[in-house]
Amino acid sequence: MSVLQTPGVYWLSAKPATVGGLAVGVAAFLGYPTQSVQVNQAQPLRQWSEFGAYFGAEAQGSYLAAAVRGFFQNGGRLCYVVALAGPPVDPQQALAAGLLALDSLDDVDLVAVPDLIRLLQPLVATTPIGQLTPPSTGDIVRLQQTVVDGCERHGGRFALLDPPPDMDVYSLLSRYREQLSGDSAALYYPWLLVDNPDDATIRAVPPCGHVAGVYATTDRGVGVFKAPANIELEGVLDLDRAVSDADQDQLNPDGVNALRVFPGRGIRIWGARTISRDPAWRYVNVRRLVLTAARWIEQNLTPIAFEPHDTRLWSRIARELTYYFNGLFAAGALKGANAAQAFYIKCDAETNPPASRDLGLVVTEIGLAPSIPNEFLTVRVSVATSGVTLVAAG
């Protein structure tokens, strides 16, 4: 921001972050508003005050408003909100239709369903959550798997998942986490305690909205290749249950990102893992880097369709990809002493034999060395006559 010298009112642009011209950190929230609106239509919001105008005030029967508020409190700049169809529409069909409403949007790269648990309740907005019979864990997993599968089919989106409410670590891992699968999703635990501005009460809400805001802030400040972790959550009073070191010893290996309270440092995201069981996709930032690269490739190489398939086409593809990945390397997204160690592009006669060319295919091989988060810091203490020396090794 430029330094302002003269008192007055100034308009500041509130745009999402971009990578190579692509918007990143743009979230889509699906849920139940508190006033009647058209369902399955994506409404863009650029500030929290717009939510009430379109969807009504916050209410105990819906988590949608709390998630959107948390998104903007934590630095989000642009999100879309999709109102889902309520009963008697089948929950699976309602969710599928809501996700379909996002298909035409090119800028959404984060998807969350804060009201997912409400999809399984017969009364959406009128009955307090504590007065309803909790849905089965299997039903919750089934709907969340639909969200993850939808993101992976789209190819450029990442799902932010909320655990079932009131679930301890043992139950979370044994009854819920083991049933989830996929590479393009992250799970955050536990729920958050926030204030309800309408009646000055405190309520537990799922963490997806606040976490999405952190993603947006990290994307804007550094890039998608920065792990969205060790960042304080804004607008949170407390956690609905404490997470200890012993708890995280169980959560982290299973790809569950803990939210922790640290005295003097606030409430922070203390994990950056996906739910994937593939070691290549273990970290959120690595997966999102590749997803974003895929979005860039699709957007920027589409114009080459129907071009003559010859060496000039191969050279053009290699040139444009090299330019893009050089930019990522310069920004610190890729590791290596030089660009040759950080990535390679191969588009030639070997990747495009006559058989594939006859099918109209252009095959390019890309190798990347993404930067890996420094999760663990090992400290070795050496004692000598001159004193104590602490040596830290990543």
According to the per-residue pLDDT averaged within each range, which of 298-302, 314-318, 372-376 is highest?
Answer: 314-318
Residue range 373-393: mean pLDDT, rounded: 52
Q: Is 107:78 a contact under the CB 8 Å cutoff?
A: yes
Q: How confident is the model at residue 94 (pLDDT cuts 50, 70, 90)?
A: very high
Q: In degrees to the nearest 10, what's the CA dihedral of 246, 247, 250, 256? A: -140
Q: Is 29:79 a contact under the CB 8 Å cutoff?
A: yes
Q: Is the pLDDT score of 74 beyond 70?
A: yes
Say if strands 110-112 and 158-161 run parallel, antiparallel, or are unpaired: parallel
Cα distance between residue 116 and residue 143, in whole Å: 7
User: Which residue type, as a one-letter code, is found at position 339?
Assistant: A
Residues 6 or more apart whose CB falls under 8 angstroms from that of 127 comprise: 61, 121
Q: Which of 151, 68, 63 is nearest to 108 (CA)?
A: 151
Residue range 5-32: mean pLDDT, rounded: 71
Residue range 43-57: mean pLDDT, rounded: 89
Q: Which of 348, 344, 345, 346 is nearest to 311 (CA)?
A: 348
Q: Is the pLDDT score of 260 beyond 70?
A: yes
Cα distance between residue 303 and residue 313, in whole Å: 11
| More reliable by pLDDT, 22 or 146 | 146
Q: Is 88:105 a contact under the CB 8 Å cutoff?
A: no
Q: pLDDT at position 304, please?
A: 80
Cα distance between residue 372 and residue 379, in whole Å: 19
17-285 CATH pick, 1.10.287.3510, 3.40.50.11780, 1.10.10.1800, 3.30.70.100? 3.40.50.11780
Mean pLDDT rounded to a whole number for the chain: 86
Cα distance between residue 167 and residue 190, in whole Å: 8
| Sequence-distant contacts of 194-197: CB under 8 A, at least 24 apart | 194/66, 194/70, 194/235, 194/236, 194/237, 195/237, 196/58, 196/60, 196/66, 197/58
Domain(s) of CATH 3.40.50.11780: residues in the chain: 17-285
Lowest-pLDDT range of 3-7, 154-158, 215-219, 350-354 = 3-7
